[in-house]
Structure 1
C-alpha cells in the first residue's frame, strides 16, 4: 500500500523567497530598545534573527485574548525577513509585507491560503491573528542578552508579547546551504560510541530542477549518524526533505561538524510491508 504527497514545486518556489540570513545579535549586559529613533533597517535586522513566539496577549482591559492560545504546544510565531512577516502555527499559511518607521510597524494586507480548518477554534485563531496584524501598530523591541522580546500594540489597545528564539542562521553564524535528502522508510543499525544498538536514518541526497523535476543521479544510500533538527521519523514512511546544512564551529569530540535543520517535507510516501 502506498500513498504519496508531493509538495516539491511549492518547496522550490519557497526557496526563491528564502530571506538572507543576518549575523548573530551581539550579547550585552545593557538592554537596547527599538524606539522611535531607531533606523528601520536595525529593527528589521534584529527581527530576522529570531523566531518570535507569542507568550502573552491582552486587550485594552487587561483580559487575556484566549483565541490566540488554542494550541499551547504550538504557540503563534512570527518570522521576519527584510520586508515580509510570516505567521507560523496558524491553521492557514499567512503572511504580509511590513515596514518599520519611528516606532511604528506598518503591516500590509494579510495573504492567506484557503485551507479549511478542521477545528473551529483554529479558524477563530486565523481570524484573531489577521485582525491584529494589520495597519499600523506600535512596536517595542528589547534586546537583552540571548532572550530578546517583542511587543506589538494595536490602536485598539491589544498588546501582543513575543519571546525571541534564535533562528538556525543565528545559532550557527551563517545562512547554511540548501539540500534535499531522501529518508528511507526504515532505519538501520549504526555505530555510535555512546549509544549501543543505535538506529540511524538511511538517507541519500537528491537533486531537482527549478520545475521540481528530479535531475541527475541520486547519491548513495548511507546511514546518517546524527539527527535532523525538527524532523521526527515515522517507521514505514519515506520522505524527501528540504534541509539547511550548517557548519558547526568547534563541534564536540563525538559530534559532527555539520548540522542538518529541516526546512520542509516536500514528498511523503507510505511504503507497504
Structure 2
C-alpha cells in the first residue's frame, strides 16, 4: 500500500478540534492556532483578507516578464491572507508563513509547508522558488475595482501582480466552520430528492486532539454535496480539512451547507 501523509510542521498547521455537535451529526473543528514572531497588527486589511489572489503576471527587477512562475496547463499560484497567516495554494504542498504589515510595507516570515510526496518535478521546483521568494517581500499595493489587483514588491526589485476573487467567507457572509472529512476511495450509488442514480462521495468526520493526534472517527455516510476546490481521484482515500458555510436563500432540493476545501492533510492509495 502506497501511503502519503501531509506532515504538519508547525502549530499554525497542527489541527485542533472540538467535539461540539452542530447539525447533520458532524462535529465542528476549532481553527488551528498560529505562531509568529511578527510584532505587527494581528489583522489584515479587509481588502487583503476578503479575496483570494491569483498570480496574473511576474516581473524581474528590470520590469521584464519573469519566466517560471506560471506553469502551462496548471492553475496559477493562489495567495490567501487569513489573520496573521499567508498561504500559497496550487503547489504540491500548501506553503504558508506568518506575515505582518505596516502601512504599505509587507514582511513575510520563514516559510513552512506540508510534506506530501509529489511526482511532478516541475511543480516541486516552483514550490521551492516560492519558498525562497516569499520571505523577501518588501511592500504591497492594492487597486480596487470590479477585479481588484494586488502588487507585491520584493527586495530584489521583482514583483508579482495578482487578481482577486472573493473568498468563501466573503461570498457567504462570515467565517466557515472548520472540520475534517475522510473521503472513501470510491463513490457509491445514491439517491436523494431530485438526485436519481447519482454517484456520491462517501465520507466520515474525523476529529483530532490539540496535539494533532487523531481522536475520533465517525460513521461512513453518503455525502450529497460536492466539496468546492476538491477533485476526487478514484482509488485514493483522502482526509480533507474543509470549511463549512451556511448558504443564504437555499435553492429547492439543495443543501443549506456549502463545503470548501482548505487543504488535503492525508492521502492513501487503496489496495
Quick check: TM above 0.5?
A: yes
Retained in 1: the 8 A contact 2:8–2:115? no
**Contact 2:240–2:261 (CA under 8 A) maintained in structure 1:** yes
2:19 — aligned with what?
A: none
Tell me the alpha carbon deviations over residues 4-61 of structure 1, each in whole angstroms, 9 at most, x when there is no partner.
3344766960555467xxxxxxxxxxxxxxxxxxxx7886332122221110122344
Map 1:1-273 → 2, pairs under 5 A: 2-7=1-6, 13-14=14-15, 17=32, 44-90=45-91, 93-111=94-112, 121-122=122-123, 125-126=126-127, 128-130=129-131, 132-135=133-136, 137-145=138-146, 147-154=147-154, 156-216=156-216, 218-219=218-219, 221-272=220-271
Contact 1:67–1:124 at 8 Å: present in 2 too? no
Q: How far did residue 118 of structure 1 move?
A: 5.9
Alpha-carbon distance in structure 1 between the residues aligned to 2:114 and 2:248: 39
Shift of 1:141: 0.8
- Alpha-carbon distance in 1 for matches of 2:90, 2:216: 35
Aligned residues, how many? 250
Give the structure with higher Rg (CA): 1
Residue pair 1:83, 1:98 contacting (<8 A) in 2 also = yes
Unaligned runs of 5+ in 2: 17-30, 35-40
**Secondary structure at 2:269 match in 1:** strand
Indicate the structure with greater helix content: 1
Runs of at least 5 residues in structure 1 that lack an aligned partner in the other structure = 20-39
- Give the aligned partner of residue 36 of structure 1: none
User: Helix, strand or coil for the counterpart of 1:68?
Assistant: coil
Matched residue SS, 1:125: helix
- Indicate the SS of the match to 2:79: strand
TM-score by length of 2: 0.74
Relative to structure 1, the CA distance from residue 271 to residue 67 in structure 2 (aligned partners, 3 Å threshold; closer, same or farther) is closer
| CA contact 1:12–1:210 (8 Å) conserved in 2 | no
Q: Could you say if the C-alpha distance between residues 174 and 68 of structure 1 is closer, same or farther in structure 2, counting changes exceeding 3 Å?
A: same
